[in-house]
Every structure is written in structure tokens, then in C-alpha cells.
A and B are shown apart, each in its own frame.
Chain A
Amino acid sequence: MTTEELEQLLAQQPIALLHRLARGRVQRHFRAGKRRLIEVLLRHSAENRAGFESDLMTLIGEKPTRTAPPLPQAPAPRKPKSPAPQRRTTHRSVEPESHEPGVTLSSWLEGLGVPPPKTFVADAWQEEAIAKLREGDVVVSVPTGSGKTYVAVEAARRAIAENRTVIYTSPLKALSNTKYTEFSKIFGADQVGILTGDRRDNGQAPLLIMTTEILRNLLYDAGGGEIDIRLDTLGLVILDESQYIADPERGVVWEETIIFCPSQARMLLLSASIGNPHDIAEWLTSIRTTPCHLIRHSTRTVPLRAGYLHPNGKLTPLFRTVGIPHGHPTHLHPEAKRLFLQYEDETLPSGRRR
């Protein structure tokens, strides 16, 4: 067998076989991509060509017997349902599942565009959140960009209509400023005030925007006897980005705020998707006078698709499905997988060439 033939033969083999071949021959072979692996194996085979070839042949000869046993088991449960697909799998018996073709790029890109303008209709969860706020506190945990602000605005509107003060807090001063501009447009400049570390505008307005630290300080001063006249008319406290409760340095401020929030005020906690919103809701229920209602959902209003862009400019879907296969991180698009392996091959430490 010439070197070229051997190289071709190696290239035809699955990478798992190459790794088995490299075991004991090449150090750190698991780091290498296929091309690199073949290269190293060939270099290595020069020392003991005959032994290498015979090992390769045994591995190739062994392959079908090794993959054969799982065959009868795998399609078995599907048997009664549909015989046709089962047959197909027997034909491509050696191929693992991941070789199923993924979606094409065009079908992945399909649907891209601007939706026709339509009048805004609140989602069911948004309505529910606003309605539940009449009965008690509400924790909202929904994906980014689902329209949490709408809930905040509507809830604030209702509280203001009932002549109650609303406090809206955000973790960052910049976000507070953005919200100040945004709410001023919605409610009118005289209805909105802002309090941050060094800014105090329109402090008597019914809707006050502040950083959470400022609210915490207000609550402390009220607790310390320096009565702030506004706390007894406080009707609603909105804590935006309340996943900050897990912030290593500032998280405690959210807890203090929630603990010391006057009992007559309703709380509305808006948070991005987190793993345990029910804990937060349960906690609120346990320490506050009214029960807390949890609103959570994980479907995005605008569906999300994931793609892979190779440095050479080639775009492919990242997953085999059009949307994101939740719970199946390994369902990669074969093309994306191939391109990424190629990329790793050329850039990762295993290819330490300069």
C-alpha cells in the first residue's frame, strides 16, 4: 500500500476509528481534528508501517461487527408504528442519527422580513399579569423582548388613575434615564419624576423612576422615623430586571427593598427568564400579606433561529431544525458541524503551526 493509498483509506474512515487507531500511538490525539489526525498518524506509521496497516485492517474489519449488535434493538420500538421508516434506517444502518440532513439555508432564512403593521393586541399573559395585580403581587419571568414594559406601563396607568403613587426601579442609572424619557412620552412630562444618586427631577410626580438603591434608602429612612409623606400613598412598586437579586454585590438591595416595601403597596417584579421564578413567587407569598402570582412563559414573541457564520463568509443554520431544538444541544446541522470542526482544526492548539 502506498502512502497515498493509505491516506485515502484513512480519510474514508470515521473519526472514531482514527482515534482508536491513534490510541497508544499519538499523544493527545483526542484534541486533533480529522485532517490533523490523519497527518499525524501517517507520520507515525513510518516507524512501523506493517504493524500500522494490520491494525488498521483489523479495525476496519471489526467495524461492521461492532456496529451490528445495536441494530436490531434500535428500530424495534418503532416497528409497530410504521414499517417504512424502519426500513430506511436499516438501509443506512451504519450511519448514526446525526447524518440526517438538516434544513436548507433557504428554508432557514424563510419568513425573514417585516410583519404587516397591525394594531397592538396585548398577549394573554400580559393581560393576566395586569389583572392579577389587582389581587396581589405579581412576578413576571419571560424571555427578553417579550413586552414586559407594556405590563409595567399599563399597571402604572391603572395605579395612577386610582390616585396612587407608583415607583419604578431599574438596576442601572442609564436604564432609569431611558425609562424616564420613555415614560415621559407616554404619561406626559408632569406625571413622571426621576430620583437617582445625583438627580432629582419632579420628585412629587405620581410615577417615580429611581434606581433600586434609592428606593432602598427611602424605605430605610421611613423605617428610621424620618417619615416620607409619599410612602403611605404608595400603590405600586415595579422592580425591573429583578433577576439582579442574584447579583453578587448588589443583589441584597433587591431583597431589602422587597422586605421593607410597605404592605399596602403591590409589587410587580419583572425579570428575564430565570430557572426558579416560582421560588421568588413563593418567597413573596411567604413574607407579604397578599399572595403572589407567577406569570412565566418561555416562548418568544418573535421566534428565534440560530445560525453559524464561517469566517470565510459561508452561512448555515446551526441546528438541524429551523427553530431552536430546546433540550437537544447536540442536534447540530451537519454543515455547521463540519465547518466548525474544520475551524477548530485550523486554529486550536492541536494545529500549533504558525
Chain B
Amino acid sequence: MPPSIHPVDLILALRDKHLTPAIVFLTSRRACDEAMQSFDHSHIVLPPPRQEAIAAVLDKVIAQYPSIAEHPLIPTVQRIGVAAHHAGHLPSWKIAVEELMRHGCLDAVFATTTLAAGVDFPARTVIITQSSIRKSRDFMDLTIGEVQQIAGRAGRRGKDLVGFAIVTPSPYIDLNVLTKGFTGHPEAINSQFLISYPMVLNLLKAHPLDQIQPILAKSFAQFQLNQRAEVLQRKLDDLGEQMEPFGPRVCTDWITEWQTFDQVRRQKSHRAPIRRHEPPEVAARFHFLTPGRVVGFARGRGVVLRQYRSKGQKSPMITALREDGGITESPASTVTEVSDRILDCVDAPVYPWCTPDSVEDLLHQLEELPGRLPELPILIPKDDEPIPDAIVQTLGDFACPTCPSRSACQRDYPIAAKLRQEQHRHVKSIQALRTSLWHRFQEKIDVLQEFGYLTPTAHLTEDGEWARLIRIDHSLLITELLRAGAFNGADPAMLAAVMSSIAHDDDRPGAFPRVSSGLASLLGQVRKLAVSLSPHEDPPLLRADIAAVTERWIGDPTLTWIGLCKSTTMAEGDIYRLLARTLEFLSQLHTLKVTHPGLADTASRAIAALRRGVLEELP
């Protein structure tokens, strides 16, 4: 069985059950395009009158937007009555598809889920083929709200009595996500209060610093933070009530008092630990007294056979084979010298602690040793006296042992301490919730002061006055570029190219035209600056290939839209969106005509050069 239903079969099944028109949401643009291709040789054509109806609607749209007259999908759309609608298409094509849907000419539209919010047309049926969508390079399960948004396209008011949302499986689908989405209650939404540099500048332009905090307090973000703070406050009140019986006793802060006392008491346990009083040199040597080591005693030499510590003997012990053949047990402190020799010794678990053969052998070797042996250089650590614990010393100062409420304190301490810890935690979190927004704002102020857009008293400097007009992403990078004079003498194509590489945030790979060397070096500078600003602002992708597309479009006024599209593998819709975003960025630069007349002029020339062909046709 195929992993998912074939588009032709899908359309047949829908037609059979009168479930058309339908929107089929697919995972990717490519899936939409492939679905369209699969109709190339199919025979499920529409009856001629419907084909004519489609042609009539299309003609009307083409009259308005000539750019789609040659669209490769038109034959399939007319023959079968299906169309694709995704971000890779030109807006004019999407308008055409929407128009066809509104007239009820189509049987199905293949669209991507990512665009579910932007699809502005309903249908009788919605086909769902997946349970997750790609969000910032990661696949995430659809939320309940998203499933309902998608399913909500089913059922046209006034045209349908019922709408149908139909799940058809494809690999990796999770039916639970979808059934939960259908039957569940949509998630609560949360504020995403992103404080940007232009926002700080604009707020400070209109309001003095001391009025900012009340303004931030009016945000939905603060409203929701307050809600959370209130929940905590309620918990805190509860805790306060629970703490009632643990109020002041003989001493006001008996919990801390008892805590310290208890700690001290624990540290000074009445059962004295076994203390081994061994001089540091003995302790240092002991590690070297391994089986086979030749050591010197006060009288004569010996070979260590084993070492041990036992509870009965307070000091570390060794067993040694002496020159006279005796095996003696003696404290490690009796060793007078440790030589660097180690004799071969096969040790055994019982007396005489080595194999009988090796006893003979060792004795033999011991006799043959020279009179003087080099000593092992052993570093003896400096004897550092443990610092007497200050608290332990003051144990006598505590009143607790003789206090009348001692038993009560001892009984209540564990629970009271836990409650109080909880209280402290809540107080801290509430404080953080109330002030976090303001702190984030202040952080931005600090950065802007550092860069000289704000005076130390948080007023706008000369640079700040114009910088506040740049209200787009990566505003700090753009204003810094302007201050560095990066665009002085740049031609419109270069300026627009850099702007588009800043504006573009998609990392879809593809083949692109070559970059001119001037642009490449300028982009290199921009990148350097962007990296140096990265602690304060996320650097843009700054793709040179993207810049090259814009550079070509502006640099060569004779280039047609089709010619541009052919020079890259980027989808038509993506190029359009790129240029449209570039236009937006350029028009922001154009607003700086008072302070940067040269730049504003270049920007307006770039805008004029950009707006031609397809870009002119659409608003």
C-alpha cells in the first residue's frame, strides 16, 4: 500500500462523495507541486462548461495581472480543476486561485499548512495529511488552535450545510494530535513582549524616563505577569496562614536560631570520630610501603610484604621480611628510610603473605643489596591545622539547650523551615515578575547609551533622533552601518542588495547568480560589524547569494522577471517576497532624508529601479 493516497485517487474519492471543493493541506511546497504534476496525464478532466468557467475567471484575473498569463500550472488548472497555492507562488497567482475558489470553479486546492493563516478562502472540505508543521527548522506538533484554524476552513457560510475535515494519513502522522485538536479547547495565548531598540528610542522620544515604567505596566505582558504574580501572592498568603502557629517564641526569629543551633549540634557530634594521630611524614610514606619495597629500620633492613590499617592498632601497620628471615609486624612509623628499590614479590593472602618460594628469593636478593641505597624522595605535606569552626566554638553561646520552648522548636522546626523557604522563594519570584519587563527595558537603554544613541540621562542624542525612524528588524545593525558610513558612495543596486541580505531570513538552499566583487567586499564589512554587534542583536543571515539576486534586478533594468527567475532556483514567490521586503527596508531609509539626504536619494532611486514588472503590477 502506498504511504499516502495518490492525489488523483483523492480527487476521485472527493468527487464521488460530493465533497468538493476541498483544500488539501500538504507538508511542503514540493508536495503541492508534485501533487499538481501527478495530474499531468490523468483523464479525470472536467466537463467543458466548467473548463470554460475557469478560463473566464482566469482571463479576468490575467487582465489585471498579466504576469501570470504564462503560468505553467494553467493547463492543469483548467483541465482538472485543481490548483496549488503556497508561498512559492507570486501573490498574483495566489489571488487568481483565491478568485477561482470564490467562484466555486475548482475541485481542490493544494496548500501548505504553514500558510493556513494566510489562506483566505473557505471550502466544503479540508483534507489534513499531517500532524506536525515546520517551525523555525524544527517539526512541532500542531496545537489545538492550529488544528481548529485549519479545520475551520471547512464549510462555507451560505454555501454549505455542513463542512468536512477529513484526515488522510501520511507517514509520521499522529492521529492523537489531530483528534485532540478537533475535540479540544484551544490553548491560551501568551504575550510575547519583545523589547526592540526602535521601541526604546521611540518611547523615550515621547516620554521621559520616569514615565516609561507605567507605560510598560500597561502591556499585556505585564498583565499576564501580574496574573502569575497574583497566583503566587495567593500561595504566599496561604503560607502566611500556615506559618501562624510558628510565630515568635522565646526568641523572635526562632527558626533561624534553631537552624544554626541544629547545624552546630550536628557538626559537633557527641560520638567522637576515630582520630588517627599520625605524623604527616608517616602518612606520606605509607603510600609507598607497597609489597616488595625495601625499607630501612632502626636496626637492619626489610622488605615490605603487606600494609594494613586496623581498628585495634591506631597507627598504620606494615608486615616486613627482615634480613634475619623473621617476619615482623610493626607500625609504619618504625620505618626509618624508604629506598627506591622494589623487589619482585609474589604476594599471598595468608601468612607469610607471599609464596614460600619468593621468601627464599627475597632473602637472597636482600643479602645481595649494596650497603647504601638511594632514598625515595617523598614530599611531606605541610601540616595544616584544621581551622576550628567558628560556629562550633561558640556552641556555648546558644540559649537553645536550656530554653523553655526547646521541645516545641525541635518539633516544629522541619515544617516551619520548609514553609519559610517556600515563602522566600515566592517573594523572590513575585519581585522578579513585577520588575522583569522594566529590567529588560533598562538593558536596552544601557546598550543604546553605550552606542551613543541615548545620553546618560536617557534622552535621545542626535543619532538617536534619526535612528528611531528605522523600525525594522536588525535596526541596530542598520543604524550602525549608517554611522560607519558604509553606504557612502554606494550605488542603488549595492544598497538594495545589502538591505535584502539583511532582510532575508530564510536559509533554504539554492543556486544563485554570482556576486560582484564590490558587493562581496561590502558584505564582508557588514558581516564583520554584525558579528561584533551579536551580543546585542542577533546577526542576520547575510547571504551573499540573496544579495546577488537583488543586485541583478536593480543593476540591469532590461532584465525581465522571467530572466531573473531563471538565474536562480529560488521560487518565484520567494523572490517576490524578498524584493518586497527590500522595498520596505529601503523605504525606511528613505524616511531619513533630513539627516542623510544622499542615502535617502540612493534609496529612492533603488526603490524606483526595484519597482518594475511584477513588482509594479501588484500593490
Contacts and interface: CB of A to CB of B under 8 A. Distances in A.
B121 to A, nearest CB: 9
B167 A307 contact: yes
Contacts of B569: none
A224 to B, nearest CB: 5
Interface stretch (B158-166, B514-522, B548-556): B158-166
Contacts of A201: 619
A293 to B, nearest CB: 17
A178 B122 contact: no
Contacts of B154: 302, 304
A303 B165 contact: no
Contacts of B118: 172, 174-175
A327 B186 CA distance: 11
A140 to B, nearest CB: 14
B157 A145 contact: yes
A104 interface: no
Interface string B166-181: 1111010001100110
B185 A251 contact: no
A340 B169 CA distance: 8
A311 B169 contact: yes
A177 interface: yes
A223 B157 CA distance: 42
27 contacts: A109-B17, A112-B19, A113-B160, A144-B153, A178-B95, A178-B120, A197-B580, A198-B580, A224-B202, A245-B191, A246-B189, A246-B190, A248-B192, A248-B194, A249-B192, A255-B193, A255-B221, A272-B145, A300-B155, A309-B10, A309-B13, A313-B12, A318-B182, A319-B183, A327-B184, A329-B176, A343-B1
Contacts of B161: 111-115, 302-303
Interface of B: 1-5, 9-10, 12-13, 17-19, 91, 94-95, 98, 117-118, 120, 122, 124, 127, 145, 148-149, 151-169, 171, 175-176, 179-180, 182-196, 199, 202, 205-207, 215, 218-221, 223-224, 227, 468, 471, 580, 583-584, 587, 607, 618-619
A14 interface: no
Given A304-B163, A308-B166, A318-B179, A283 B220 contact: yes
A223 to B, nearest CB: 4
Range for the number of chain A residues in contact with chain B: 35 or more
A220 B199 CA distance: 9
Contacts of A180: 619
A343 B13 contact: no
A173 B189 CA distance: 23
B223 A279 contact: yes
Contact of B152 (A115, A145, A147, A178): A145
Contacts of A85: none
A217 B19 CA distance: 45
B339 to A, nearest CB: 60
B152 A144 contact: yes
B1 A178 contact: no
A303 B195 CA distance: 42
A3 B5 CA distance: 36
A313 B227 contact: no
A272 B165 contact: no
B583 A197 contact: yes
Contact of A276 (B148, B188, B192): B188
Nearest to B184: A329
Nearest to A109: B17
Contact of B182 (A144, A248, A252, A329): A329
A318 B168 CA distance: 10
Given A259-B219, A304-B162, A347-B3, 11 more contacts: A115-B159, A115-B160, A197-B584, A220-B471, A286-B223, A301-B155, A302-B162, A306-B179, A311-B5, A313-B9, A332-B179
